[in-house]
Amino acid sequence: MTRPPVRADDRVQDVLARDAALVDVFVRHSSHFDKLRNAVLRRVMARLVTVEQAARVAGVPADALVRALNDALGIAAVEPNAPVDRAREGAATRPAGRREVELDLRETLRAGKEPFSRIMSAVGALRDDEVLHLRAIFEPAPLYAVLAKRGLVHETQRHAPDDWSVWFWRGAPAPADSGSERPAATPIDERWLDVRGLEPPEPMQRTLAALESLPAGETLVQVNVRVPQFLLPILAERGFDYQIDESQPDRVLVHIRRRAPHAVSPSPIPETP
């Protein structure tokens, strides 16, 4: 039986699932791919990134990487498939007059740390009248498609080979197949804040900061790995109601919104029928 070749638009996770030893092929092309040896980062990043996007991030030719992966699998050379530039999805020119929130990840990336959770936290807290200004040491191409699914458009500017600016802002509504974390039919008055990659007390701090600017009637959905026991009494003190959803094994959702003015004591948000 003929095995299908690796293609530029295959997810890195799917490629590695075919043969874990292909990590070595990636690493031979660029030391950037050393991170794939870390099981946690592999689980987080490899499922989001295509081979073509990974090659762009690492600054290596995608067709050479695809060819080397196929060679390692013993698959004869194939015609490169037409590049699927999902990364460019959602590119635009940033709107004027919005408040800019800067997230500088350059030192984090140079230190070899994983920035995804910080990015998603910042995105979760991003208001409609704000623009997130991301600074990175390479073009964060895989993010474009991920954030496009959350309804964010972007503009990219390269200052130097290791200095990039990307601005993200809420633009066109999210497509129907929006990301796996956020339900497809997310109500428009909900904001999501994923704090799973943060060490206490950062989840509490970021949640409370996001709540400070939460308009009445809107709900902040905190995505956590556990029930945030230290946060709950503070929410009650500050006049927020909450509802905890532990129905999924790998995460806890805390739906938070301002208490109605007539309410006199802290109470959970009424259960959705």
Q: Which residues bind other proteins (CB under 8 A)?
A: 39-41, 43, 111-114, 117, 196-201, 204-212, 225-227, 229-230, 232-234, 236, 242-246, 250, 266-268, 271
Residues in Cβ contact with 31 at an 8 Å cutoff, skipping those fewer than 6 apart: none
Q: Which is nearer to other proteins, 8 or 120 (CB)?
A: 120
Q: Which is nearer to other proteins, 63 or 202 (CB)?
A: 202
The alpha carbons of the chain give a radius of gyration, in whole angstroms, of: 21
Asked if 134 contacts 167 with a C-beta cutoff of 8 angstroms, the reply is yes
User: Which contiguous run of DSSP H or E holds residue 63?
Assistant: helix 62-73
Q: Which is nearer to other proteins, 88 or 251 (CB)?
A: 251
Q: Which is nearer to other proteins, 82 or 111 (CB)?
A: 111
The nearest distance, CB 148 to other proteins, in angstroms, is 25
Asked if 101 contacts 165 with a C-beta cutoff of 8 angstroms, the reply is no
Enter the DSSP assignment of 6.
P
The nearest distance, CB 209 to other proteins, in angstroms, is 4
The nearest distance, CB 59 to other proteins, in angstroms, is 23
The nearest distance, CB 237 to other proteins, in angstroms, is 8
257: alpha, beta or left? (left if phi > 0; alpha if psi -120 to 50): beta
Q: Which is nearer to other proteins, 30 or 243 (CB)?
A: 243
The nearest distance, CB 203 to other proteins, in angstroms, is 10
Asked if 140 contacts 168 with a C-beta cutoff of 8 angstroms, the reply is no
SS3 state of residue 116: helix
Tokens linked to 145: 């498609």
